[in-house]
Structure 1
């Protein structure tokens, strides 16, 4: 359910992004085309643009027709290029400004509204246009029936060639109008130009410059696009997240197993993205966590064994040792009080109890835990030697060198020395024991325990010495080393040799 939920949310995010992109495109289109058109919907500005544009066009024709020999007796306009000769027109020669304006309007043709063109800015706008002389007489009109030629325009003309605008009432209702002057360059005069006429443009005051922009035509295409794009986005989202969701599900399954205490499963690392980094890191974390848990288990088992050894040592000391001590006292009293014929038996009982006490003390020292982790190998060996010397009265000489060993090897060396000392005290009755630790010329670490007690036959080790030597040999073999035992009537020497590789690769020995 978790994977399906994530997959659904990711697919929904694809759909949301697709929908947002479609609406953003529609918003950009609306802002680009509709808003600028709405900003251009001022009727007075449209009329001014129309009047000024047509006045300029007619003014250019006036300048062209004012070249000497073309119209009237007026001087030529400077900086006007030569134009081809025009055909003679009836009454053209000597014509005044009125004839010049009529000719200019005719020459402009359909480039002006008065010449018959429809409004160039606002299609469908009911716009009227007239061309009048400086005296206000109408010389040309787009609607002669409304503005008859030869009549005077009923709007005030601007002075000195300026523009003029306003509103007035007509038979059809209120109207807005604008007047722009038609200018001609002159060689004389304070302004350098001469006003020879005006262009008047008029439209109803309630005329709509353009229909209000509507988003309705864009709604249907938008819905169609969404109808096509949304399924594609949904399918793409589901397909593109399929592999990712599968990897996350596998990771979740392994996480569940690890949480339950099983550190064996691993996640298959695939790809080189962030999820693969997570998979690899999870595997590393699982390895370290498994190693830590195993180490904790080994530590717990070791501590449990140490606690059990301590418990056994306490019970032996509190019960059997006390009984042996009492037996020793009784044997000594019997030896002194017994008649001559029983004194030998009492002495034998006293020696047996003393020997049992000695072996019991050696066994207690063997069971006694040594703080190797806290003190280190050399201090632990020195403490062990002092304990045997103090508690059992055996002179123990230690010749120890500082050597670098792994924890498993140090533990095995300590247990080997402890086992060898215990065997010597219990079975050989030595007066002197020597413990040596050092590194040879070949780099191998050598540890030996020698005593001057009664020797034994190594071939009969199983019958006489139980499991002691067998356990020591197993410890050394696990570390890749070897154990040599030499014994004769002059004493016993137990030597263990650990190579560097064996010590490094060794496992934790038995406690």
Structure 2
């Protein structure tokens, strides 16, 4: 089934509105000019209307003539009025189609003063029906033309003594005459131009509607295409904003919504990745604790027992084994703390750092001093600071054998600075980086991704790791 698109429906709306307007105008014209005549549904009503209109015309003409008034019959005035153009009596207007309508003007004595058919009703002769009263009237009677329907309407003029009747307009027609013909005939001149206008409006309105809606439908179609792409998961397309109308507002709002939705989806993806990494680190930490840590603890107990039970020749080797097992357990504890997930999103950066420092201090017996100040960082930067401190603490515990570690966080002249320093045995950073510097390289890359600066200083009195973040 063929369906209209938006452009076709809007074009058809133009056509329908215009055609409806033309038809409404036609209906008003018919109501104002045709329906009053159509209301005369019988021959008597048509004759009454005809006699009344002409009597009113003759009364107005008599009222405009200067005094003195004619005699009581008004015959002179009526004779002059019979020649007035525009009335049926003047002979200018032909009889109505479909009727054998005759019209006469008679005085108050019933004598014909003017006639539309002098060969039938001559001037100076009388009528076949009696005169009515002052208000006029009509009826049906047998006249010289056959059975006739007739009507009288008085011609009056206002005088100082009251309203004076000068005569009567008399109209008659055969009783079998039908009044519908003149009403139907009068509709054609009014309806034909309207129908022609409707015929012209349809193609013109269609073309105008198609042209005027072309740009709007193109913009809506483009917006629908981008919406489909976004719905399929592609947040890169954007809608070109044109103009300053309601559609342009929709375009701007759609672009803003797409930006926010894309950012939200990317944030959710990063969060999911971080949670997955945290879960994996937790799983590895649990496995190390449940397997290797327990084995190292057992090895330490065995080495202690061997040291106590071994002869003097083997005691030194047993002590070395015990020290090695203790050092391995210490490094394993540091590794577990490094892998231990910290709920940064739940508690915030400072509480997370304080918890981390407290864990190293209580579980490894090393003094960890935290000098932390409130700073404003983005979520990725906070995560980088936490991982940097965690990595630095783990490296210090595993390699430097410190007695005190200091963690500092604050803002100095613009950038945020995080610093981890210890009093353990130093090392050569360049030599370590060339051999086993995976942890140092990760710290350096993490800071570089945020546009910060990373540096490390180490000598015989300790090591300091410092990072400056924007």
Is this a same-fold pair by TM over 0.5?
yes
Are the structure 2 counterparts of residues 36 and 198 from structure 1 closer, same or farther at C-alpha, using a change threshold of 3 Å? Answer: closer
Are the structure 2 counterparts of residues 123 and 434 from structure 1 closer, same or farther at C-alpha, using a change threshold of 3 Å? Answer: same
SS of alignment partner, residue 111 of structure 1: coil
Q: Deviations over 1:84-137 (max 9, x none)?
A: xxxxxxxxxxxxx69x8665555556139999624879757633435446xx47
Note if contact 2:128-2:143 (Cα within 8 Å) is conserved in structure 1. Answer: no
2:290 to 318, 321, 325: 318
Are the structure 2 counterparts of residues 179 and 460 from structure 1 closer, same or farther at C-alpha, using a change threshold of 3 Å? Answer: closer
Where structure 2 has 5 or more consecutive residues not aligned to the other structure, the ranges are: none
What is the CA–CA distance in structure 2 between the aligned matches of 1:113 and 1:385, rounded to whole Å? 117
Q: 1:93-242 to 2 correspondence within 5 Å?
A: 103-108=76-81, 110-111=83-84, 117-118=90-91, 126-132=101-107, 136=109, 138=111, 140=113, 142=115, 155-156=129-130, 162-167=134-139, 168-171=141-144, 172-178=146-152, 180=154, 191=161, 198-199=167-168, 201-204=170-173, 206=175, 211-214=182-185, 215-217=187-189, 220-242=192-214
Match status 1:308 vs 2:277 = no
What is the CA–CA distance in structure 1 between the aligned matches of 2:2 and 2:79, rounded to whole Å? 83
SS of alignment partner, residue 468 of structure 2: strand
Note if contact 1:114-1:131 (Cα within 8 Å) is conserved in structure 2. Answer: no
Q: Equivalent residue for 1:448?
A: 419
Q: What's the C-alpha RMSD, in Å, of the aligned pairs?
A: 3.6
Match status 1:289 vs 2:261 = yes
Q: Equivalent residue for 2:366?
A: 394
Note if contact 1:309-1:368 (Cα within 8 Å) is conserved in structure 2. Answer: yes
Q: Deviations over 1:57-105 (max 9, x none)?
A: 6798795476xxxxxxxxxxxxxxxxxxxxxxxxxxxxxx69x866555
Are the structure 2 counterparts of residues 344 and 20 from structure 1 closer, same or farther at C-alpha, using a change threshold of 3 Å? Answer: same
Q: Equivalent residue for 1:298?
A: 270
Note if contact 1:448-1:496 (Cα within 8 Å) is conserved in structure 2. Answer: yes
Q: State the structure with more CA Rg.
A: 1
Report the number of matched residues: 458
Q: Deviations over 1:371-412 (max 9, x none)?
A: 111111111111111111111111212222222222222222
Q: Equivalent residue for 1:491?
A: 462
Match status 1:469 vs 2:444 = no
- Offset of residue 10 of structure 1: 2.6
Note if contact 1:395-1:431 (Cα within 8 Å) is conserved in structure 2. Answer: yes
Q: Deviations over 1:128-161 (max 9, x none)?
A: 435446xx473745366655777766655567xx
Are the structure 2 counterparts of residues 267 and 2 from structure 1 closer, same or farther at C-alpha, using a change threshold of 3 Å? Answer: farther
What is the CA–CA distance in structure 2 between the aligned matches of 1:115 and 1:420, rounded to whole Å? 121
Note if contact 2:34-2:183 (Cα within 8 Å) is conserved in structure 1. Answer: no
Are the structure 2 counterparts of residues 182 and 112 from structure 1 closer, same or farther at C-alpha, using a change threshold of 3 Å? Answer: farther
Are the structure 2 counterparts of residues 239 and 141 from structure 1 closer, same or farther at C-alpha, using a change threshold of 3 Å? Answer: closer
Q: Equivalent residue for 1:360?
A: 332
What is the CA–CA distance in structure 2 between the aligned matches of 1:145 and 1:239, rounded to whole Å? 67
Q: Equivalent residue for 1:10?
A: 10
- Offset of residue 314 of structure 1: 0.8
Q: Deviations over 1:259-280 (max 9, x none)?
A: 2211111122222222222222
- Offset of residue 296 of structure 1: 0.8
Note if contact 2:54-2:87 (Cα within 8 Å) is conserved in structure 1. Answer: no
What is the CA–CA distance in structure 2 between the aligned matches of 1:104 and 1:118, rounded to whole Å? 18
Note if contact 2:89-2:104 (Cα within 8 Å) is conserved in structure 1. Answer: no
Please say which of residues 377-386 and 487-496 is displaced more in the overlay: 487-496
- Offset of residue 486 of structure 1: 2.2
What is the CA–CA distance in structure 2 between the aligned matches of 1:244 and 1:193, rounded to whole Å? 71
Q: Equivalent residue for 1:81?
A: none
What is the CA–CA distance in structure 2 between the aligned matches of 1:257 and 1:10, rounded to whole Å? 27
Match status 1:383 vs 2:355 = yes
Note if contact 2:393-2:420 (Cα within 8 Å) is conserved in structure 1. Answer: yes
- Offset of residue 458 of structure 1: 2.2
Note if contact 1:163-1:179 (Cα within 8 Å) is conserved in structure 2. Answer: yes
- Offset of residue 343 of structure 1: 0.8
